[in-house]
Amino acid sequence: MNHFFMAGRIEKITKSGGKRQAEGGKPPSAIVLLQYGPSRESGNGPVEFINASLIRIPAFRFEKIADKLEVGSIVAIAGHVQGIVKKVMEESYLTNELVADNVRVGALDFLFEEEEEVE
């Protein structure tokens, strides 16, 4: 019940070393910013809808596909949602993160082609 499927264009890739890398040079996990709809201009409102999501790719999975992922790549990602507790300035809060279980790169450009006008 906690699964998702998302297709879009990678706008940013951030590698996170954290404990794993410090302990012995193990590969990092990554967070990708996936744009799944048209970009929207930002306004000054209290809430903005950006048609993009952050998705974590675990280290063992990122290690296998890192050379295929680049900004601008079209990908399809299937994964799961998990709850996490974060601490910020002595305060803890519960949030959710999207975690990739399967990442397919390329051959998905048709998802972002402009529709042809029919006369």
How is the chain split into domains, by residue range?
A: 3-112
**Is the predicted pLDDT of residue 54 greater than 90, yes or no?**
yes
Q: Which residue has the higher pLDDT, 38 or 108?
A: 38
| pLDDT score at 44 | 75
Distance (Å, whole) CA 67 – CA 17: 17
Percent of the chain residues topping a pLDDT of 70 = 80
Segment 94-110 shows an average pLDDT of 85
Could you give the CA distance from residue 4 to residue 1 in angstroms, rounded to a whole number? Answer: 9
Q: Residue 97: is its pLDDT beyond 90?
A: yes
Which option is the CATH number for 3-112: 3.30.360.10, 2.30.30.100, 2.170.190.11, 2.40.50.140? 2.40.50.140
* pTM of this structure: 0.77
Mean pLDDT of the 23-50 span: 80
Residue scoring higher pLDDT (14 or 88) = 14
